[in-house]
């Protein structure tokens, strides 16, 4: 029997029940509908120290900071599909999400300095998808966050499968009033497993 596709959902907002949580939850339900095994990672439940730029990972590809990120590395590497959801905070992802991304520097080292084949061309292929919302209507509100997400996924050998982003979404639950948004998230989750 074919092993179920493993989907890791990264909840990057500290606001529980908020807009990105609602969207990511729908995407994960869509993935589950297609038979995927889903793991939910609520970043605000973890202690992830920001990268200290100590270069302690340069020779080993292992981060020397012994906090909750150590539990997260195997989850990132074990996933077939990673969905990162973060609202826009000051034109970027939240500090919660950015801390995880910056701590992935240890994996960047494995891939690009140590040439670890498991993260190279012949290594496991993953898929990455980004979900975001912002309160304003600014033309470029998602640009910085999308670039950050793309480079994060690159480190994980995850093909960037695209994003689902919504503007003018501010109060908790506002996304539910956005016509079709939750349905689009559900479909995106299904497609990530089927494609």
Ligand X SMILES: Cc1cc2nc3c(=O)[nH]c(=O)nc-3n(C[C@H](O)[C@H](O)[C@H](O)COP(=O)(O)O)c2cc1C
Considering only residues 85 through 124, tell me which ones interact with ligand X, judged by CB under 6 A.
87-91
> What residues have CB less than 8 Å from 59, skipping those under 6 apart?
none
Query: What is the rounded distance in angstroms from the CA atom of residue 195 to the CA atom of residue 180?
Result: 22
Considering only residues 170 through 189, tell me which ones interact with ligand X, judged by CB under 6 A.
170, 172
Residue 136 interacts with ligand X (CB under 6 A): yes or no: yes
Chain residue whose CB lies nearest ligand X: 18
**CB-wise, 19 or 104, nearer to ligand X?**
19
Question: Would strands 37-42 and 6-11 be described as parallel, antiparallel, or unpaired?
Answer: parallel
85 phi and psi, to 5 degrees? -120, 125
Residue 81 interacts with ligand X (CB under 6 A): yes or no: no
**CB-wise, 59 or 136, nearer to ligand X?**
136
> Minimum Å distance from CB 89 to ligand X?
4
Sole binder of ligand X in the list 141, 155, 181, 185 (CB under 6 A): 141
Region near ligand X per CB under 6 A, out of 1-9, 49-57, 103-111, 168-176: 168-176
Torsion of CA 126, 7, 77, 155, to 10 degrees: 50
Number of residues forming the site for ligand X (CB under 6 A): 20
Are 171 and 20 in contact by the 8 Å Cβ rule? The answer is no
Q: H helices within the chain, ranges in order?
A: 19-33, 69-78, 95-103, 105-108, 143-155, 181-194
Are 106 and 73 in contact by the 8 Å Cβ rule? The answer is yes
Residue 41 interacts with ligand X (CB under 6 A): yes or no: no
**CB-wise, 114 or 182, nearer to ligand X?**
182
Residue 13 interacts with ligand X (CB under 6 A): yes or no: yes
Query: What is the rounded distance in angstroms from the CA atom of residue 134 to the CA atom of residue 170?
Result: 7
CB atoms under 10 Å from CB of 43, counted, come to 23
**CB-wise, 60 or 168, nearer to ligand X?**
168
> Minimum Å distance from CB 99 to ligand X?
15
Residue 4 interacts with ligand X (CB under 6 A): yes or no: no
By the criterion CB under 6 A, which residues form the site for ligand X?
13, 15, 18-21, 87-91, 133-136, 138, 141, 169-170, 172
């Amino acid at each position: 029997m074919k092993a179920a596709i493993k989907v890791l959902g990264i909840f990057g907002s500290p606001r529980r029940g908020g807009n990105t949580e609602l969207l990511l939850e729908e995407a994960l339900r869509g993935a589950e509908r297609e038979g995927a095994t889903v793991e939910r990672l609520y970043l605000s439940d973890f202690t992830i120290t920001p990268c200290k730029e100590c270069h302690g990972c340069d020779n080993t590809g292992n981060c020397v900071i012994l906090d909750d990120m150590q539990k997260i590395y195997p989850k990132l590497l074990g996933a077939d599909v990673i969905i990162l959801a973060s609202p826009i905070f000051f034109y970027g992802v939240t500090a919660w999400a950015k801390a995880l991304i910056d701590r992935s520097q240890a994996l960047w080292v494995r891939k690009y300095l140590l040439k670890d084949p498991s993260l190279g061309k012949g290594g496991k292929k993953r898929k990455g998808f980004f979900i975001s919302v912002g309160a304003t209507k600014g033309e470029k509100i998602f640009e910085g966050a999308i670039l950050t997400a793309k480079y994060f996924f690159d480190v994980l050998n995850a093909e960037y499968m695209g994003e689902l982003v919504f503007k003018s979404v501010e109060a908790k639950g506002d996304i539910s009033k956005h016509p079709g948004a939750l349905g689009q998230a559900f479909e995106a989750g299904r497609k990530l497993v089927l494609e």
